[in-house]
Structure 1
């Protein structure tokens, strides 16, 4: 049994926490969402979806890491713009054998975490194909669990990387370890950029975007631009035809609503800068045109300006 702390126990983090606790691990959840904390502490955390339906009692659910103590595994599952605060809060959880996995959409988060906690215990995580949501406080739902990948940020030994992954595998997840973390991250990003911004702007689910010719034209163009930027950056993508790959993965979770769409519906800040915005930024740096992503970013920022 491992002692696990999930910092960022929102939709995705709650799925991780619930399944790991159900597998017998000691799991501590940390989130700033007060209603979710109260519901989990009162009634337990219910996780349902493709993995089944269960309600578990976490070891703790609170708004801070205070009192948790050193953990075997620390998962930073916050949004990209919250990673610095999460990393700072994780300092007291890290011992000589702790594995810290930082899991965010887009690019750049791991560098910001490493600047705060160091790089020797750090792993980069990539997950996808979950379609996770919190339909009500205390309840997490997920449509799938297609992709869970980890790689050492820099110095984390392979055996420690594998030990962290084993906690996930014991909870029913299928993991894959990567030496080439750029490939790992970009193979997820080409899917993120296809559906995150497009769903956010249209209000459609992933399946609806795939089925609608106009929406798919935008989504596939966003992804094609990301593939072009990856090629210019000399990043290996081992997925066959990238656009077909994106469409196939998306087709496995047709009812999913990406987090950017959920954020927009709740009038919250989105991760557009880390996802579609990262393609615009890197494209400009590398001399690769990214007109579709540029427009998607501009429209989402314009929408957010009306409520942020």
Structure 2
């Protein structure tokens, strides 16, 4: 069955791409990974090791991983999973248009709300579907990618994916939900992704950060602004899994004892899990802040509103990017005061 479906390409094979593509490869599907020379060298030396918080432990030998840094062989793929950072989506679309076979199915598994639209703008001969990755993947040493949080992938409802490729993801133990309103799902996911920056600025694992009431209040301020802004814009968010975005600020402001009871699933994550933005700062590379908190700032401006807390978070992350010293490890009381001051 795997050979009959054709090959899968992962465009932008970093943490998410290597984990998703690696699990598909381990399940017997032919996967072509396209990414950076730095990671190619790591995988050529070590292969891929895939683990998760529930006990997944899979190893692919270097000879079993086709990791490429040029795109000619993308023409072989029937399914293309786009996992590049949002700032590279337009460049990715141009390379896919140039090298892939028209008619291939393209799925965006990226943070942010506009990537599928950007891909469609350039890929008129392809079917493009939006998708959402709910879990966090941490890059460790030696080609090791560790999934530290739970959740099912969500893909825009379409027979071309559900009926043709759904079984492949089941074989890889990557459950997929199919939703007709992927835009609503992506806006809901953005509410959660607003914590990426708080985690990156804190410098501590996600679980530790969520257990600190002041860090939670920082996130609550940002999400409250985002909810008001999206409401003004007429954006309807959809419940994604267990998450009801409109309740996030309420839950985050609960005292610790009650938060730990009400949000037990939220903190039931790997002790090592960190946000992808923390990893970006750690590796001294640009983050996706402009496509996350920055998206709320832009939308607020379009609605004649302000989002001062999200704006302050954007500024702090850009300062950390410029310093190239990793996470600034901002203390919770300092970050919370900075956000309160930004509102006055």
**TM-score, normalized by the shorter chain, greater than 0.5:** yes
Match of 1:187 in 2: 188
State the partner residue of 2:316: 299
- Given the alignment, which residue of 21, 44, 50 partners 1:47? 50
Paired residues for 1:94-113 under 5 Å = 94-96=101-103, 98-113=104-119
| CA distance, structure 1, for counterparts of residue 191 and residue 10 of structure 2 | 26
**Pair member with larger Rg:** 2
Matched residue SS, 2:159: helix
Deviation per residue, 1:250-286 (Å, 9 max, x gap):
4232531101111112211000000110011112212
Cα deviation for residue 78 of structure 1 reads: 0.6
Q: Does 1:257 align with 2:258?
A: no
In the alignment, does 2:286 pair up with 1:283?
A: no
Give the distance between the partners of 2:115 and 2:42, measured in 1 at CA: 30
Matched with 1:197 is: 197
Distance 1:180 1:4, change over 3 A: same
Q: Give aligned pairs, total.
A: 299
Give the Å deviation of 1:249: 5.7
Gaps of 5+ in 2: 253-262, 326-344
Q: Distance in 2 between the 1:109 and 1:119 partners?
A: 17
Query: In 2, Cα distance between the equivalents of 1:84 and 1:206?
Result: 30
Paired residue for 1:135?
140
1:36 is matched with which residue?
39
1:61 deviates by 0.7
Change (3 A) 1:182 1:119: farther
**What residue is the counterpart of 2:96 in the other structure?**
90
What TM-score comes out, normalization by structure 2 length?
Answer: 0.80
Is the 1:6–1:76 contact (alpha carbons within 8 Å) kept by the matching residues of 2? yes
- 8 Å CA contact 1:209–1:219 kept in 2: the answer is no
**C-alpha root-mean-square deviation of aligned residues, in Å?**
2.2
| Per-residue deviation, 1:166 | 3.6
Q: What's the offset of the Cα at 1:159?
A: 1.1
**1:215: Cα distance to partner?**
0.9
Which shifted more, 195-204 or 19-28?
195-204
Residues 56-78 of structure 1, C-alpha deviations (whole Å, 9 max, x = no match): 24451111222343312100101
Alignment-derived partner of residue 272 in structure 1 = 289
Deviation at 1:245, TM superposition (A): 7.3
Note closer, same or farther for the CA distance 1:15–1:272 as it changes in structure 2 (3 Å cut).
Answer: same
Decide whether aligned partners of structure 1 residues 71 and 120 sit closer, same or farther in structure 2, where only a CA change above 3 A counts: closer
Unaligned runs of 5+ in 1: 153-157
9 and 120 in structure 1: CA distance in 2 versus 1, 3 angstrom threshold: closer
Contact map agreement 1:279 1:290 (CA 8 A) in 2: yes
1:200-211 to 2 correspondences below 5 Å: 200-211=200-211
- In the superposition, the TM-score normalised over structure 1's length comes to 0.89
CA distance in structure 2 between the aligned counterparts of 1:245 and 1:123, rounded to whole angstroms? 32
1:137-175 Cα deviation digits (max 9, x unpaired):
4221111341311116xxxxx210313444322211111
| Segments of 4+ moved more than 6 angstroms | none
**In structure 2, what is the Cα distance between the partners aligned to 1:224 and 1:252?**
24
2:140 and 2:146 in contact (8 A); partners too = yes
Say whether residues 1:175 and 2:181 are aligned partners.
no
